[in-house]
Structure 1
């Protein structure tokens, strides 16, 4: 058995080279991103390839005599990223011409399409050049040089960014058409490249205290310049952001943040009051508040009235309780709390005073609790951005970050078909 047949019988032969015979080496001996050139030391049948069958089939004719070419007559290969040119000898003894056969197609005189596709796939998967090459070497496919990937990414970045901007303008137009009035109603929530406490101030990330209000104001200003007026904004009750927004905008709380902030305050009180430390107590109080808020979304006065009955209810005073949610009225002798310790009401003047203050805060803000919106779509988008540009990797030094964020925008607006739209957009760019 010769050395060529030996390599063909092996499944993962990417780590083998020729001297006088095949010598096995470890994959670590190959640098990730190494520019792989095939010749006498690395033959064409070494590893696997990504081939477009239609392109290959239409090119398998001799350039000189038109005879059918055979893959077994390949003499050499020159790799260009994920594609390559095959040098195939004509099987005709009278010709013997060596034809140049591509393994993939090119569009508009640019490079091989597969190299742009693999760059898009890299962005879509949230990977970088080193991660992509780790994947390719694991599949026994020659790695793509990192400089090639960066070059293609630079060409694609303006296309992705422009497509995302066009997609946003179309989404704004559709939103206004669906709106019942001339003003838009939106939600706002910021996402950060790296999570922090807010105490770290530097030129790369800054603090949410200054950045979040600036983001909200600049986005509203840009929308206004495009002819779209924001009339209502749903967001967390961050005082800094609210104070910077124009007074003409109606500020509404977000249901998710209302629940989160309520839970946070109750868990803060639990440090001083042992009755709140029972596993079911705080979730029960939160449910009482959120049920009341959700029930009276269209009536400010009824919401205020029922919010005022929550604290007396959990302390065992049911004079003002509604029979629609409190069963004490039906049978006072058998009434027990299902979610409070031992089925008994809470006790303690100081604890009640703290909970009364908490309830009063929500009663005073009842107008902002009407018609609550949600920032879950914002959270979903922030998670999409994090999948395209993971927070444990730095892409902010180049246009890569903007291209990745724009890709997240495209996926949000266009769905998972955004890749085909980018390819169409790029072919006419």
Structure 2
């Protein structure tokens, strides 16, 4: 029978009870992973995490499989920092013992954990290292999990060509018996198809993934996120009824595995199918909850969707949301989200910035952008230098720029705006 869950706590003292049998850590790791994947009830997370931590802090040597399984459980439970620290130790210990398979396996899972955290650049580097280890070992066909992790990271970075090239390396391999690799492979293929503008093909792959997981009894909402991606695709394909059912299914899964990540993603899916009156509220809450999770990718997406929705409503609150999305995505190497945020910010500037400059501020801004000094602007417009300085301070604040260099760049990026600065400069 399953023991009562133990509180999640830091590493216990060295005097904690050791395992009675050498194989107990294998049994405990398998149980923790099964509990986490099935997510059968609100207490499942605490039970799985308690078992995983007992494996990690047992003080006994154990197989790479058991150690990595425990790290996977902690990742699903949104304890990414502990999982990554543990996986790094497994990689180092395996390297010291010259166990290439174990080292490559742990490095592959570490790449997937980094990917779940939205750290695409680091995930790509870790996956490449794992692939090199598999090649050094001489494994037939390399390490599919490392290749899949690399492809997923490349998609997140916006490099679809290299992602597709990576996936071709495992074409023809039967992965159905490799639970983790098989479902992540289907998700990777789907994300490439979506990026290529083929939503129907992407949706078929995600449905196949979801059907397979359901048949296996897997109900963890943060494993592959097939339901979130398919909700978005169903809306794109103008199938709102099915999308709403999929979002509701995701919410039900999230409520069985209560973490900031799962709940934030459930809110994000619901926002995709919500009406205009509820969308901003759902996105605001999703961004707030995801900010407390380990998933930087999902947080950036929530901020992007919220900023885009506010922009659609001509709400000034769009700018800080889009800037948060851009900063988070750029820091984590999430090129696709960063590009979308940049385009939205340019659209926001095109739509709003000209209107916010008053008739008094606009000529001052144009002359400053043309390189004129405050004194020259004052003489040209018959103003005092103090008035020019006042107007420029307001202009910098409204346009979100710093100094004349930023102002010049802003006007260069908005060629449709009045070009009187050049004419006035010539006249002076």
- Using the size of structure 1 for normalisation, the TM-score is 0.21
More helix by share: 2
Larger Rg: 1
- Using the size of structure 2 for normalisation, the TM-score is 0.21
Return the structure number with greater relative CO, CA threshold 8 A, min gap 6: 1
More strand by share: 1
